[in-house]
Structure formats: structure tokens, C-alpha cells
Structure 1
């Protein structure tokens, strides 16, 4: 920490420079407020300044409500390291998280985020972190084990344990948590506080997701990225509080069923799946980006969305080209305000077909078109 330079006259020289440590003169309450604004790793480094700073840092780490273990710079540097150096840095990260978790004494936390390249070989530590977060009545739980910008990892994904939620592997999809005597009951009480769940490169089974959905009464946001063995996902029943669902690149996924639910926004990116929607009166935003081999993607999408087309306000259909069909009649989109679609570079007729779409969307006021120039390059053509 640096202080202010004060200029004073001296007999020995014309001027004498004295370094006044103004920051250390501040009250503990103010210094704690400053430290809480820093990322955890930066706050921890201030402990080397003095015994007083070490005490303040320990207090902040023990009482902070936001535990975000982001190590982006460290993760970037792993790419250029040999195996031994890489494993050493990973072990340091795990030790850092363990140290903070062990020191934490506050009864509750708002956010617990792990963002580092970890795989199933660290499952023992990760399981303890999740139990810690649930015991602390966490509201936002994020497990992001992606390699820095690399989506095709060679290592095995962390497998979310069924046993942590009181489930037996292979149990039925109507997942209801049961108490396991060996686990602290606070783990189950912790489910009552979760508002946001994010899984990236976490192998999370449908039974686990449905257990979260059924037993987290205030869970509003769920996002699952790159879960390799997720096959089916059901969001069924008015008791489920979920409002925002994002599913991306879960390559084994075959179906998503959403029925009698309060969902407001649905976003899906991945392979072609069976999408079943029934009685979703609050759904107003849908984004679908499917790697579809069929030539009638638009018709399939409209069929899947038929129960909610009239209420949609935002619709994004990307990664599939809109084919030209003469005299094509689009369904009425009475409340649509925002539309995104994609066209081939030389598909002028497809662009002209938009007039039919406009007639079917009387409230449209924002249109975003993407032009497919080549298979790996998409450019924005028009936005207003």
C-alpha cells in the first residue's frame, strides 16, 4: 500500500521527502470495507503488509458473504506449463479454496463460485466445497470447470454425486431428497436458499437436476453447459419456481419437457432434440440454436413452440438457415417485439420472404438478421 508524499524543509537538504502511510491510519471498519471490494486472491495478498493487515485479511475472508474463487490469469497460464508445473498450480488453487473455506465463520453466504480447470480427480475436495456452500445457505452456486476457452477437454468432467442430495444412482426421475444420517441436515436446509445454479463441465444427471428443481423453492435460474451424460430434462409442475433456463452443448441430450411451469425465458444451444412445451403461460423469450440436419427447421421450431407463439415477445432462431418457400404462411406472432434469424448469402428470395413474417408480427420493432457467408463465418447484416 502506498501513502502520500509530504514535502518538508530540512537543514540537511533543501527539501526532505517523507512517506506518510495514510491508509494504515484509517479505522478498521473502513479498511475492511476496502478489502471486501477486492477479489479474494487480491485481498489475501495484502496480508503480507503487516500484522494488522494480516488480521484484517483473515477477518474479511472469514466473514465475507461472496466467495468467488476466480483464477482466470492462473488458468490461462496453465496452457504453456508442463504436466508437473500444471499440477502444482492446480494443487495450489485447491489448497487456497480449502484454506478460505476452513477459515470462514459467517453463518451465511450469498454466492459461492468455483472457476478453474478441475476434473473428477478432485471430487473429494469439490464435494466438501458444495456441502460447505449448502450449509451456509448459499443463494448463488456456480461450478465452472471449463478450461480457458477450450470446449473439447480430454479429462473426465466432475461428476455431481447423487449421494450428496440423498439420491440413489438410477433412481426414478421423480427425485425427492431423502435424509442420509451421515450428512449434516443443514445440507438439505441449504437447498431452500438457492436462487441461481450454474454448471459448466459438470456431469450432472437428470435425477440430480430434478432434485434441485423439486427441492429448491426459490430457484429461479438454472444453466447447464457441457454436461456429457445429461439425456432428458423435465421441468414439470407449478410448484417449480424456475423462470430462466439455459442449456448449451449437452451432446447426449435428447429431450426437454416443460409443462405446467412458470418459465419466462428458455435458451437452448446444441444438437437437434425433442422439445415439448405445454401450458407455459409466462414464457415470453425463446432462443433456439440447433445443429439440425432437417430442411424444415423453421416449421419444426414453430411446431414445438405452437403453444406459446402468440405470447412470445423475443424469438431467436439461429444456426439454421431460413429456407425459401413460395407463398409460405407464418403463424401469427401477435406480441413479438424482437426477432433474430439467419439467411444464406445468396438467398435473396429468403429475405423477400420476410415481408410475410412482418405481416405475421404486427408489434415487431427490432429485427436482427445474420448472413451466412461460409460455414464457419457469420456476419451481422442488419440491426435496428
Structure 2
């Protein structure tokens, strides 16, 4: 082959390599080995696509990728999902609560707050954590948040009116949080898109009022809120309620969409027989439990026309025969489960 032929071949080969390299980008995270910086070749994609890929990673993997790549470090500061709990941050660490608090504080300080959609904050209530809580909550409760889970273990969450509307919030879970019923009501009134509300072990709530403006609320769960006496709900499209406690009363101005109801508190069977057929005509699944039931079988003026699944748990000493009223009032019943506590 002549000199011109070899020159054409080299040019062609170099052209192919240049085209191939243009499809990749070199990514270096500052790691070095034997004095040389390590780089990695990644397919070239627009920045917004890499951000999207990064956002779909589990939080641990996303954090590791941010340590490896400067490109991912930028998107980490806008990562939409943060799970800040002991299992995620300290499962392999021998450090105590102080180390745990510093890890959370470092993550929050390095996050821009932009693009945050879901935050789960599950922390311990001790002297090392308390100084940080207010700043963490100010970071978390922003107008763009969609899912908020707070496990504060007796720490206070005092949402103020100046927070403004949280128009994107669809899910709120509060576990062992010191918050009053009025404060919950204030928070709900600023969350018109809320679809799911779950309260667990929130001992300062006595009266829970859910406003009619929550047109999208579908599911309400209230467990172990031992001071709670009354749930007043005016949300028109609520279809699922799960409630347990001591002496909870339900006041539902709108229950025409109710499909699934689970209740556990004293004398709930008599309440269900006397009240539910008329106020929840579309009920399909009913689960009730009582450890202290006064046997008083009322004559039902209306029936559970659509009830298909019935689960009743009562103490073994109770007389099961008084439950026959449920069978008479449930012409569409498909499954019946009776269990002695």
C-alpha cells in the first residue's frame, strides 16, 4: 500500500474514533490511584436525562454516584427523594445518635432544597437531636413537597400559618409527633391536594377536624392516638378509614363514597349496627374489633346493601348470637370472618 493509501486509512480510522468518542463523556470523581486520576466513560446524554436517571436511584446508590461523579454531584443536590432514618444512614455504623444527627444535618445542608418531592425524617428524641429539629423541618416543609413522613418520637411539630399553601402535598404521615388537633387542622387547611393522612401515636390530639376543602382525600388512618375523642370529617370523597383508640366517635357529614372501613374501640359493634348502614350506604368491606362490648342488638331500619366482606374480632366471652343482625342486614355478603381476641 502506498503512502497516500496509508494516510487515507489512518484518517478514516481516526474519524471513526472521533465519532465514537463523541458519543461518550469522560467523568472523573477525583479518585486517584498511583498518582493518576481515574476517569470513567459514560454515554453522552443531555443533563436533564442524567438528572432523571439519578432521581430514580435508591438514595444510597444516588449518594454513592454523587461521590463518584461531579455530574451526579450536581443532581444529588436536587435529588427529589430523601429517606433520613437510622436504617438507611447507620445500619453499618457503630456510631451513636450524635453521629446519626450529624449525618442528617450534613445531607440537609448539602441539599439545595430545589426539587425535593418526598422526605421521610425518622429521628430519635435526645439532647443531640433536638437542636437540629427546627432547621430540618424548615427545610422539609416547602411548597413543592409532595410526600412528608415525620417520625419525631415525642418531638414537637408546630406548623405555622405563615408556611403558606402546600399545594403539592398529597401524603402526610405523622408518627409519635407532639402536635395538637388545631395545629393539624391548620396544616390540612393549607394542603388542598392531600390524598392520604396517617396519624400514629400522636398523643396531644383530642379533636381532629378535617375540612371539606380536601376534595381529594381518599384514605384516613388513625392509630394509637389515645387522647383522641372525636374525628369530624367533611371531606366529600373519603373512601377508606382505619381507626383505633379508646373512645373515638366519628362525625361524617359526607360518607357516600365510603368503601372500606376498619375500626377498633369499645362498643364499636353496637355503633356499627346502629349508625353505619344509613351514613355509609356504599360500604363494601367492614372490619371491626372490640374488647369491651355491651351486647345490645338493635333492629336495623336499613341494610348494608353493598357489604361483601365482614371481619369481626371480639372477646371470646361475648355472645356471638347477637351478631346475627349483621347477616340479616347484609344480603350481598360474600365472606365472614369471626375471631375471638
TM-score bin, normalised by smaller chain: 0.7 to 0.9
- Per-residue CA shift, 1:239-283, capped at 9, x if unaligned? 554221111111111211123633221111111223222332222
Residue 302 to residue 125, structure 1, CA distance change in 2 (3 Å): farther
Query: Residue in 2 aligned with 1:269?
Result: 244
Per-residue deviation, 1:24: 4.3
1:38 shift after superposition = 4.5
1:31 & 1:269 partners in 2: Cα distance?
Answer: 45
SS of the residue corresponding to residue 252 of structure 1 reads coil
* 1:44 lines up with 2:13 in the alignment: no
1: distance between equivalents of 2:259 and 2:241?
9
Q: Match for 2:98 among 86, 91, 114?
A: 91
**Distance change in 2, residues 1:319/1:24 (3 Å):** farther
One of 243, 255, 258 as aligned partner of 2:233? 258
CA distance in 2, matches of 1:239, 1:114: 24
Q: Report the alpha carbon displacement of residue 305 of structure 1 after superposing the two structures with TM.
A: 3.2
- Paired residue for 1:127? 134
1:335 corresponds to 2:310: no
In the alignment, does 2:122 pair up with 1:115? yes
1:230 aligns with 2:249: no
Deviations 1:152-190 (A, max 9, x none): xxxxx111124xx2xxxxxxxxxxx3x4xxxxxxx424x
Q: 2:286 aligns to what SS in structure 1? A: strand
Which segment is superposed worse, 228-237 or 95-104?
95-104
- Structure 1 residue 103: Cα displacement: 2.2
Please state whether the residue corresponding to 1:300 is helix, strand or coil.
helix
TM-score (norm: length of structure 1) = 0.67
Question: Radius of gyration: which is bigger?
Answer: 2
* Matched residue, 1:58: 73
Aligned in 2, Cα 1:24/1:345: closer, same or farther, shift over 3 Å? farther
Structure 1 residue 354: deviation in Å?
5.3
Indicate yes or no: 2:43 matched with 1:27: yes
Q: Report the counterpart of residue 164 of structure 2 in structure 1.
A: 188
* Contact residue 217 and residue 235 of structure 2 kept, 8 A: no
8 A contact 1:40–1:67 mirrored in 2: yes
The count of aligned residue pairs is 299
Deviations 1:38-67 (A, max 9, x none): 54345435666xxxx153552342121111
Instruction: Check whether the contact 1:62–1:104 (CA below 8 A) recurs between aligned residues.
Output: yes
Which of 157, 161, 171 is equivalent to 1:160?
A: 157
- Secondary structure at the residue paired with 2:233? strand
Gap runs ≥5 in structure 2 = 1-38
Q: CA RMSD in A?
A: 3.3
Structure 2 vs 1, CA of residues 320 and 220 (structure 1 numbering), >3 Å: closer, same or farther? Answer: same
- 2:129 match: secondary structure: helix
Counterparts in 2 of 1:239 and 1:56: CA distance versus 1, 3 Å: closer
Picking from 283, 288, 303, the partner of 1:312 is 283
Secondary structure at 2:261's aligned position in 1?
strand
2:327 to 352, 358, 363: 358
After the TM superposition, which residues 71-82 of structure 1 pair with which residues of structure 2 at under 5 Å, given as runs? 71-72=86-87
TM-score, normalised to structure 2, is: 0.74
